[in-house]
């Protein structure tokens, strides 16, 4: 019988194996029992799926670009110049036409336009519950728009794709509303991080824009993990290079610092101009008399006309933004692209083309910063850096100002450049740009559309839900109505037989005089001699509060609270004396 060996190495291996088993057991227990561990584990899955989603989305964009845009470009012989050059305007129009079958099948509301505000609305009002088909609809629609020359970005759609993946996982696991929001934010972070190879920027995009600045630790860890996993997938499938190659950054002099402050202010001013022009263009396309399904094609044609002179406005424009960052563009070209990229993006998305604004904001910021850099370098050549340095900082500052996301802009600068020297000027320009933009325009480009609908994301879900439901959807039209000359005795008999506690009083000619409540009648119950003398008109409250069908339930709840009422009359907006229905406080609560 052989003796058991008990060498130092065997003893060491045995001890460490036991410790490893213990650590694994503790880790599994952490993931199994704690909510935090559960969310982190799920975030890993969401991050990996978000990274794959980004890869497939980019491949789809490339497919449409190669097999539609480049094919049409060759067939039309645009490269030969002359009159063939004009034909380039037809290519983005084809992209708009290809959206029509999608819109006919799934509905134009789900296919057309800038969809990120609706994405945020679903998170705020519907608990982040997205249909899985949204992933394919928005992904395909944006791929067509971007691949065939539309001026938009892929980041908004990929954020929506990542968020839908997170929502889908959450629905499978039947998680709570709060956990669902964390999972959606994790998917968004993974998508943005995978797009730029910038995991920190992905995290802050999710927190600043989707979570509205809620940096709780229980939210933070899953979002960070998902962002990291999304980036890992991009590293494996597409390489570790960031979206842009950035030249080395340097500050020529400490006297440049005030110039970056001015750059931040300019970012705010031009950012607000862009937001207002963006929505002005959208409203213009909504109003024009043109077949709605063909409006994206019309927008594509207009963008194509711009592209005859400035073909750099097509697509997301990363290639040309990078040229500007390397100082390969003169100030005149920078100025032209700065103006026409704003116009082209507003037309593409305002007419119904699908896509996001993140890439255009980067593009416009680069051009704006480059123009500013040329100006200050011409004025102060001794202590200012070259124009491309200002183009880099302008990229982050303009993005921060328009989206009200300063940390996203700052860390995107840092991760793309990999240079700590950009931090200080970036902090100054991004923070000043965001603060100034918020003063000039309280809403970002993403939240302004919701504000126009009466939804304020910062006020919480309860108020937004009530504000999104009109009175007409909840009011009742069948009610007990009292004529003005009805004696008190009969009023009491009607009240006993009715389920109502509030009764509208109508005059002989059908006009609303006011409302009688049981509270108004109670003091008269013991006055037997008055039962046949007092009529409805004598006790009606003529200073009544009322609602119209188009008022929302938040307005209704405020009016209920003013006099502690249980019901309110609903009247014609054009004639407050014409009764339409009644709204009960209990029905409002049930509707919520």
pLDDT per position as a tens digit, 339-354: 999 999 999 999 999 9
The reported pLDDT for the residue numbered 285 is: 95
The reported pLDDT for the residue numbered 3 is: 46
Average pLDDT value for residue range 315-321: 89
Q: Residue 451 CB: number of other CB atoms within 10 A?
A: 14
Average pLDDT, the chain: 85
Pair type for strands 502-506 and 482-483: parallel
- Comparing 55-69, 210-224, 337-351, the range with the smallest average pLDDT is 210-224
Report the candidate in 121, 117, 113 with the shortest Cα–Cα distance to residue 137.
113
The reported pLDDT for the residue numbered 520 is: 73
Rounded distance, CA 296 to CA 258, Å? 43
C-beta of residue 549 within 8 angstroms of C-beta of residue 472? yes
Residues in contact with 87: Cβ distance below 8 Å, sequence separation at least 6, in sequence order: 76, 77, 78
pLDDT band at 491 (very low <50, low <70, confident <90, very high): confident
Whether residue 193 has pLDDT greater than 60: yes
Rounded distance, CA 266 to CA 369, Å? 9
pTM of the model: 0.76
Hey, what are 214's tokens?
A: 């809620």
The reported pLDDT for the residue numbered 4 is: 47
The CATH classification number of 254-460 equals: 1.10.3080.10
Whether residue 214 has pLDDT greater than 80: no
Whether residue 430 has pLDDT greater than 70: yes
- Which among 131-140, 179-188, 488-497 has the top mean pLDDT? 179-188
pLDDT per position as a tens digit, 501-554: 888 888 888 888 888 887 777 776 666 666 777 787 787 877 788 889 888 888
Whether residue 300 has pLDDT greater than 90: yes
pLDDT band at 577 (very low <50, low <70, confident <90, very high): confident
pLDDT cut 90: percent of the chain above it: 40
Rounded distance, CA 204 to CA 471, Å? 38
| Cα–Cα separations (whole angstroms), residue 573 to 8, 123, 401, 554, 570 | 91, 32, 40, 18, 9
Whether residue 385 has pLDDT greater than 80: yes
Residues in contact with 239: Cβ distance below 8 Å, sequence separation at least 6, in sequence order: none
| Cα–Cα separations (whole angstroms), residue 407 to 132, 163, 326, 367, 403 | 30, 20, 24, 21, 11
pLDDT band at 587 (very low <50, low <70, confident <90, very high): confident
pLDDT per position as a tens digit, 68-113: 888 888 888 887 777 888 888 899 999 999 999 999 998 888 889 8
Q: Where are the domains of the chain?
A: 28-238, 254-460, 469-591
Residue with tokens 């040309």: 320
The reported pLDDT for the residue numbered 140 is: 93
The reported pLDDT for the residue numbered 2 is: 45
The reported pLDDT for the residue numbered 508 is: 85
| Helical residues (DSSP H) of 107-176, grouped into ranges | 108-111, 116-125, 133-147, 155-173
What does the angle CA 370 – CA 372 – CA 374 come to, to the nearest 5 degrees?
Answer: 70
Please tell me what DSSP assigns to residue 419: -
Whether residue 16 has pLDDT greater than 70: no
pLDDT per position as a tens digit, 128-177: 888 888 888 888 999 999 999 999 998 889 999 999 999 999 898 888 87
The reported pLDDT for the residue numbered 1 is: 43
pLDDT per position as a tens digit, 226-235: 999 999 999 9
C-beta of residue 462 within 8 angstroms of C-beta of residue 591? no
The fold of the 469-591 domain, in CATH, is: CBS-domain (3.10.580)
Rounded distance, CA 249 to CA 421, Å? 7
pLDDT band at 314 (very low <50, low <70, confident <90, very high): very high
pLDDT cut 70: percent of the chain above it: 89
Report which secondary-structure segment, H or E, holds 177.
Answer: helix 177-196
The reported pLDDT for the residue numbered 7 is: 56
**Same topology between domain 254-460 and domain 469-591:** no
Which string of DSSP letters, residue by residue, matches 71-117? HHHHHTTGGG-GGGGGGGGHHHHHHHHHHHHHHHHH-HHHHSS--HH
Whether residue 46 has pLDDT greater than 70: yes
The reported pLDDT for the residue numbered 18 is: 64
Q: Which class is 28-238 in CATH?
A: mainly alpha
Average pLDDT value for residue range 55-66: 92
Left (φ > 0), alpha (ψ -120 to 50) or beta: where does 38 sit? alpha
């Amino acid at each position: 019988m052989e003796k058991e060996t008990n060498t130092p190495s065997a003893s060491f291996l045995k001890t460490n194996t036991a410790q490893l088993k213990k650590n694994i057991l503790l880790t599994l227990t952490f993931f199994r029992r704690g909510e935090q561990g559960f969310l982190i584990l799920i975030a890993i899955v969401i991050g990996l799926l978000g990274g794959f989603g980004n890869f497939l989305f980019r491949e789809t964009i490339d497919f449409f670009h190669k097999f539609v845009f480049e094919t049409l470009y060759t067939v039309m012989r645009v490269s030969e110049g002359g009159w063939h050059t004009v034909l380039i305007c037809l290519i983005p129009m084809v992209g708009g036409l290809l959206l029509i079958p999608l819109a006919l099948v799934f509905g134009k509301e789900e296919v057309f336009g800038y969809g990120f505000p609706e994405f945020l609305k679903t998170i705020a009002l519907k608990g982040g519950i997205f249909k899985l088909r949204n992933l394919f609809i928005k992904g395909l629609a944006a791929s067509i728009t971007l691949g065939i020359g539309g001026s938009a970005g892929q980041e908004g759609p990929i954020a929506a794709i990542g968020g839908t993946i997170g929502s889908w996982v959450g629905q499978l696991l039947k998680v709570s509303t709060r956990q669902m929001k964390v999972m959606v934010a994790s998917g968004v972070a993974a998508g943005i991080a995978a797009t730029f190879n910038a995991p920190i920027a992905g995290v802050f995009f999710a927190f600043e824009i989707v979570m509205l600045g809620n940096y709780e630790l229980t939210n933070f860890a899953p979002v960070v993990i998902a962002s990291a996993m999304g980036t890992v997938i991009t590293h494996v499938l597409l390489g570790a290079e960031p979206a842009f190659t950035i030249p080395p950054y340097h500050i020529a002099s400490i006297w440049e610092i005030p110039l970056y402050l001015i750059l931040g202010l300019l970012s705010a001013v031009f950012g607000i101009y862009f937001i207002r022009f963006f929505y002005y263009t959208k409203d213009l396309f909504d109003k024009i008399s043109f077949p709605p399904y063909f409006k994206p094609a019309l927008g594509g044609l207009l963008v194509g006309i711009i592209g005859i002179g400035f073909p750099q406005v097509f697509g997301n424009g990363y290639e040309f933004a990078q040229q500007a960052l390397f100082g390969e563009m003169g100030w005149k070209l920078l100025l032209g692209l700065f103006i026409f990229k704003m116009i082209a993006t507003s037309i593409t998305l305002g007419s119904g083309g699908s896509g996001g604004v993140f890439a255009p904001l980067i593009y416009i910021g680069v051009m704006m910063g480059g123009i500013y850099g040329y100006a200050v370098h011409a004025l102060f050549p001794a202590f200012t850096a070259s124009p491309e340095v200002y183009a880099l900082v302008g990229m982050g500052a303009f993005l921060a100002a328009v989206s009200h996301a300063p940390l996203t802009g700052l860390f995107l600068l840092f991760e793309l450049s990999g240079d700590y020297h950009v931090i200080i000027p970036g902090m100054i320009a991004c923070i000043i740009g965001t603060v100034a933009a918020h003063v000039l325009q309280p809403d970002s480009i993403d939240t302004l559309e919701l504000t126009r609908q009466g939804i304020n994301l910062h006020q919480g879900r309860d108020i937004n839900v009530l504000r999104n439901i009109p009175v007409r959807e909840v009011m009742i039209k069948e009610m007990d109505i009292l004529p003005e000359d009805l004696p008190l005795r009969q009023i009491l008999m009607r009240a006993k037989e009715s389920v109502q506690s509030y009764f509208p009083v109508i005059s002989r000619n059908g006009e609303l005089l006011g409302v009688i409540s049981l509270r108004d009648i109670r003091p008269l119950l013991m006055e037997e001699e008055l039962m046949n003398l007092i009529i409805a008109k004598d006790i009606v409250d003529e200073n009544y509060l009322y609602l119209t069908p188009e008022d929302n339930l938040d307005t209704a709840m405020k009016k209920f609270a003013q006099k502690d009422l249980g019901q309110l009359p609903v009247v014609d907006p054009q004639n407050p004396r014409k009764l339409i229905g009644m709204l009960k406080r209990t029905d409002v609560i049930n509707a919520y």
